[in-house]
Structure 1
């Protein structure tokens, strides 16, 4: 049974310009649900967009996942007036209805997890429903515009623990069989299964204030899911961690970066303590490649923009987890990992946002002993696991 997902994205957005590409916790908004889809039970995930820039980004950034594909949608179906169903129909026709189950995922629902996606699939596969959607159980009291209450007796106001509340669509996940979709031309139809998601997933991103609310909720969710265990991997950003963030140019381009020799010795010592060192940077730099080779960091990954998704893939491939990772980062593109790994560190000269979210703010600045300090902390930390 082929399970295919579509994530429709429009280039233009009225409420928040460029919303789908705007960085939430250091990542493009759409990448949050895309990553969860990759690591769900879906077989294929299509980004369906009128934005060529997003298509180019997908093709470059997610080459490691055979699940991910990007297709260009018609301008006609990318207008403000086009319905989501018309986009789904265009998509289905484009891929010649080559699916058994079609899953609609909304990029504006970054709280969606793989478990939520899988639960809607299970409603169809295991519970034999024809479609399914995600909902939130809210205990809020709902009123009509004429001043009458919808869901409770104003003279017998129930206590929260005695109140069933209401199930409200959160717009995150809709899943349907091909047969039901062909018959109804609608995202859900027939017998419908319901999958409950947390109440915070109900917040819609229509304004800048909504954006900040959801971003804070997302950061807190990642932090609450942290686990602490023996550190197996030290993941390092490069610019602003290995270097002081400065780049020296001449007429021919990049000429020099400043590194700290003490960091190199720290990394040599930490490897002797069975912690694997990995460098992940968004830049493609020959100077960085040369320095990492000199430091014998064999796992060096250049040009990685979505560091969170890549690290998720890296750890799954090695049968490890975020709890086994220490991470050092200095800027917003490190935020998702900073909020998610077992222990996160920020150099003394990191950005204010990173320092506000890191577990530990180092006393040393980047290219001035920050990595060496991290190594010494981790060696002491791992001693508590000796003999276990």
Structure 2
């Protein structure tokens, strides 16, 4: 049974400009749902968009998985008046209905987890439902504008623990069989199952204040999953970690970066302690490649924008836990990793935006002994285990 997903994305957004691409905890908003889809039981995941930048991003960043594909969306189904169902129908026709189960994932639902997707799929594949959707069980009392209570008796107000509450659609995940979709041309139809997600997933992102609330909730959820373990891997950003963040340019392009020799010795000591060092940077720099080769660091990933998804892939492939990793970064694109790994370290001159998310604020600045200080801290920390 072929199970696929579509994530429709439009270029425009009125409430929050470029909302789908705006960085949420350091990552483009749409990548939160995309990453979870990759690690779910789906067979293929399509990003369906009219945005060429998004297509280029997906093709570049998700090279490590054959599950992810990007497909160009027709302009007429990407305007303000186009329905999601119209986009789904266009998508289904483009791939010639080559699926048994179609899943709609909303790009604006960063709380979606792989297990939410898998539970929806299970409702169809093993429990004989025609479709499934995610909901939130809220214990709020609802009213009509006429002043009439809808879901409780005002003279017998129930306690929260005695109140079943209401199931409210959160717009995150919808699954349907091919037969049901062909018949109804709707995201859900026939015998419908509900799958409950966490209450924070009900928060919609329609304004910048919504964005701030969701970002804080998402960062907190990432941090709450961490557990103290022995550190087996150190993952390092480059600019602002190995270097002080400045670059010299000539007419021919990038010219020089400044590295601290003490950092190299610290990393050598780490390797002697059987701690694996990985380097990830969004820049595709020959200077960085040359320096890492000199330092004998084998696991170097250049030109990586979505470091969080790649780290999740590496962790799964190597049978690790995120709590076994220490991560050192300095700016907003490091936030998701700083919130997720076992230990988050930042140089003293990191941006103010990331410092509140650090477990360890180092005394040294980047390119001035910060990595060396981090290495020595890790060795002392591991000695406790």
Same fold (TM over 0.5): yes
Deviation at 1:251, TM superposition (A): 2.1
TM-score of the two chains, using structure 2 as the length reference: 0.99
Q: Which runs of 5+ in 2 are unaligned?
A: none
- 1:249-278 CA distance string (max 9 Å, x none): 122221111111100000000100010011
> Any idea what SS the aligned residue of 1:20 has?
helix
Mapping for residues 285-296 of structure 1, pairs under 5 Å: 285-296=285-296
Indicate the residue corresponding to 2:177 in structure 1.
177
Runs ≥4 in structure 1, deviation > 2 angstroms?
A: none
> Residue 358 in 1 paired to residue 355 in 2?
no
Indicate the residue corresponding to 1:3 in structure 2.
3
> Residue 247 in 1 paired to residue 247 in 2?
yes
Mapping for residues 93-172 of structure 1, pairs under 5 Å: 93-172=93-172
- 1:70-106 CA distance string (max 9 Å, x none): 0111110001111111111100000000000000000
Mapping for residues 226-305 of structure 1, pairs under 5 Å: 226-305=226-305
Deviation at 1:353, TM superposition (A): 1.5
Indicate the residue corresponding to 2:74 in structure 1.
74
> Any idea what SS the aligned residue of 1:353 has?
coil
> Any idea what SS the aligned residue of 2:144 has?
coil
TM-score of the two chains, using structure 1 as the length reference: 0.98
C-alpha distance in 2 between matches for 1:363 and 1:6: 46
- 1:28-85 CA distance string (max 9 Å, x none): 0000000000000000000000111110111111111100000111110001111111
C-alpha distance in 1 between matches for 2:254 and 2:59: 26
C-alpha distance in 2 between matches for 1:362 and 1:152: 55
Indicate the residue corresponding to 1:372 in structure 2.
372
Indicate the residue corresponding to 1:31 in structure 2.
31
Deviation at 1:315, TM superposition (A): 1.2
Deviation at 1:147, TM superposition (A): 1.0
Indicate the residue corresponding to 2:186 in structure 1.
186
- 1:175-206 CA distance string (max 9 Å, x none): 00000111111100111111000100000011
Q: Which runs of 5+ in 1 are unaligned?
A: none
> Any idea what SS the aligned residue of 1:255 has?
strand
- 1:135-193 CA distance string (max 9 Å, x none): 00000111111111110111111111111110000000000000011111110011111
